[in-house]
Structure 1
Amino acid sequence: MAEKQFGGLGVSSLFALNRALLFKWIWRFLNHQTGLWQSIIKAIHGPYGSLDAPIPRRSGGSVWVMIRKSIDALKSKGIDLMQFCNKVIGNGSSTSFWYDRWNGDVCFKVRFHRLFNLELQKDISVAHKLQLSDSSSSFRRRPRGGLEESQWNEMSQVIDNVVLSPINDRWRWTLNSNGFFSVSSVRKEIDKRVVAMSSSPTRWSTILPIKVNVFIWRMFLDKLPTRSNLSARGVDVPCVLCPVCDSEVESRNHLFFGCSLVSELHRLIGRWWNIHIPEFTDLFSWESWFKDLRLTSLHKLVLEATFFSLWWHVWKFRNDSVFEMVKPKKCMLFDNTITQTLLWMNHRSRKVRVNWAAWLKDPLDAISNM
């Protein structure tokens, strides 16, 4: 699920979390080459765990192969996590000259493949290679003309510009500014590529319960099971009219903005807050009005929570009207809204502590005098 700034709830998908935890083993393999399990992997799959080599079709049920397959499956979807692993050269002793990506985005084995075919010491380190008086002395023959000579000239130019230092080589994770690997950074990167994003951030009220915020999130996305939505999904709905007013098709915009009952509740909120609340036709008209409203940030925070609470109670009233044997009372909707909103604010928010009598009389004044 996307982050809140991209229209989600900020809850990671299990798919992204699972792949991030799997990739953590690859990061550990790269950074700690002396462990027993790393030695076993090297013995079975080669000195570098075949991270750059294709997985054989008949690879058995190895756990390491399963991890490789999961990461390669991500790469086939355009999510190459290995590109965020960069080798930072120090003394060059623990960096493979041909297999590690220590200069550029691809390893020298791929970048200079014709020279790699000439190499006799394919596991040679950067330090050992640079110590040779002639870099071609470890080749089975000198590079000849054409592509070999072109690659040789390019590689020689790269080698001439490399300066080693006395510190150890290390891997750097480029998704974090500090260079250290974290599961959360992988999870966010996968979610960013896989999960659908929205240009509008999620509206989240800090003074309301999570269940109300999740309801509002679904309402803003028009994902509530209104009768029009159920009918559009192929559900057999006996009647698509609004169960509250029984005059129009029950859609998101009608139930929370166009219904006569909700319009009356909006007017009551306007008189209570002493502000002008116009007639709304849809969610966009409410958002546009609320954005241009000239109130302090704290007043707008509480007013927004009041609207969210009202729509929550309208949805409960709608469900009780459809599913309960005893019909709910319309006259209690407004009272329940202002009472529950105050309780939520006083018990959940550190910013807002409002007196009950002042809240009933004038919420604007009550918030200003906190």
Structure 2
Amino acid sequence: MGKKSVSSWTPWIGDVPLKDLCPSLFRLDRDKRCKVFHRLYRSSGVLVRNWDWSRQPSTGQEIVELARLYEKLDSVSFSGQSDCWSWTGSEDGIYSVGAVKNLFVAEKDVSNLYILDWCKWIPTKCNIFAWRAGLDRLPTAVAFRRRGIFLEETLCPFCSENEETVDHIFTACSFTPVIWQHLSAWCRVPFLYAFSFKDLMEFQHYSGLSGKGKEILHGLIIIGCWSLWRRRNDLKFNNKVARMEDVIAEVKSFGFL
């Protein structure tokens, strides 16, 4: 490496600045802004260490730090090239946003992450809702309990038969299959039968539709789930009776648009 513009006490050897690695020696240096070439240079092929201490290191801590410093310096080889920064996160040593992204992805296991097929023709809020539901991030009774918040009532507000979870509300509740049956008949696809919310989000791939028809079906299913959640909130917080006809009508109104 070069040494003409690099500050001597900065992190030019490893990730820790030398001033932090050898704080006692740093206090002894008369010129704390000195460059590497002020302290280290070659003479007749020999590396010369040119220190400028306010006094010679003498205490036990200073001697230990001096040995540590020499060990660090002996591990470095110098060149006559100009100084440059090199980033260890990429093979070419060049820092970039793309390189940082690749580094994060390489170190993270994403095999179990949920990826939602974003539907472009429906409102953004509906896509965000579906994304949160797929990650099981909706505020259901069971989700609250996982976070240490215990509610008096944890049963599904629609059927009062099972605990309220994302999968139960949208696939297992007795209130729900009628909605999917109407949607399947209206779109002329096989009966929509799902065991989980993720099954709903993938149904368009197995519906027999293609192109724009598949995208429309996917959007209608998301709208159906969003409308169901709205009815759930009205029932739970406003004591408003939930009617499947309202959900079906809302889904069809979006479909006609």
TM band (smaller chain)? 0.5 to 0.7
Query: Aligned pair count?
Result: 235
* Cα deviation, residue 135, structure 1: 1.9
Question: Do the aligned partners of 1:309 and 1:341 also contact (CA within 8 Å) in 2?
Answer: no
Residue type matched to 2:166 in 1?
R
Residue type matched to 2:152 in 1?
D
Matched, 1:199 2:109: no
Q: When the two structures are superposed, what TM-score results if normalisation uses the length of structure 1?
A: 0.48
Residue type matched to 1:104 in 2?
G
Residue type matched to 1:155 in 2?
L
Question: Do the aligned partners of 1:92 and 1:125 also contact (CA within 8 Å) in 2?
Answer: yes
* Residues in 2 aligned to 1:139 and 1:245: alpha-carbon distance in whole angstroms: 82
Question: Do the aligned partners of 2:204 and 2:217 also contact (CA within 8 Å) in 1?
Answer: no
Q: For structure 1, which runs of at least 5 residues remain unmatched after alignment? A: 1-88, 344-370
Matched, 1:164 2:81: yes
Partner residue in 2 for 1:105: 15
User: Judging changes above 3 Å, is the alpha-carbon distance between structure 1 residues 118 and 301 closer, same or farther for their aligned structure 2 residues?
Assistant: same
Residue type matched to 1:274 in 2?
R
* Residues in 1 aligned to 2:242 and 2:21: alpha-carbon distance in whole angstroms: 73
Partner residue in 1 for 2:7: 96
Question: Do the aligned partners of 1:310 and 1:337 also contact (CA within 8 Å) in 2?
Answer: yes
* Residues in 2 aligned to 1:337 and 1:106: alpha-carbon distance in whole angstroms: 59
Matched, 1:311 2:229: no
* Cα deviation, residue 298, structure 1: 4.5
User: Judging changes above 3 Å, is the alpha-carbon distance between structure 1 residues 319 and 116 closer, same or farther for their aligned structure 2 residues?
Assistant: closer
Partner residue in 2 for 1:234: 150
Q: For structure 2, which runs of at least 5 residues remain unmatched after alignment? A: 58-63
- Aligned positions of 1:202-351 closer than 5 A: 202-203=115-116, 204-229=118-143, 233-237=149-153, 240-286=154-200, 295-296=209-210, 298-324=212-238, 327=241, 329-343=243-257
User: Judging changes above 3 Å, is the alpha-carbon distance between structure 1 residues 312 and 201 closer, same or farther for their aligned structure 2 residues?
Assistant: same
> Deviation per CA, 1:332-361, whole angstroms, max 9, x where unpaired?
321320212443xxxxxxxxxxxxxxxxxx
> Deviation per CA, 1:264-312, whole angstroms, max 9, x where unpaired?
2212222223322353233254456556556546444332211110011
Question: Do the aligned partners of 1:115 and 1:152 also contact (CA within 8 Å) in 2?
Answer: no
* Residues in 2 aligned to 1:323 and 1:116: alpha-carbon distance in whole angstroms: 65
* Cα deviation, residue 91, structure 1: 6.3
SS for the counterpart of 2:186 is helix
- Percentage identity across paired residues of the two chains: 24
Residue type matched to 2:4 in 1?
G
> Deviation per CA, 1:41-63, whole angstroms, max 9, x where unpaired?
xxxxxxxxxxxxxxxxxxxxxxx
Partner residue in 1 for 2:60: none
Question: Do the aligned partners of 1:92 and 1:164 also contact (CA within 8 Å) in 2?
Answer: no
> Which has the larger helix fraction?
1
* Residues in 2 aligned to 1:112 and 1:231: alpha-carbon distance in whole angstroms: 51
Residue type matched to 2:244 in 1?
K
* Cα deviation, residue 224, structure 1: 3.0
* Cα deviation, residue 112, structure 1: 7.5
Partner residue in 2 for 1:138: 51
Residue type matched to 1:215 in 2?
F
SS for the counterpart of 1:337 is helix
Question: Do the aligned partners of 2:179 and 2:244 also contact (CA within 8 Å) in 1?
Answer: no
* Cα deviation, residue 210, structure 1: 2.8
Question: Do the aligned partners of 2:141 and 2:163 also contact (CA within 8 Å) in 1?
Answer: yes
> Deviation per CA, 1:193-231, whole angstroms, max 9, x where unpaired?
9xxx89324424333223222322332233334455557
SS for the counterpart of 1:200 is coil
RMSD: 4.5
SS for the counterpart of 1:305 is helix
Residue type matched to 1:164 in 2?
Q
Matched, 1:128 2:13: no
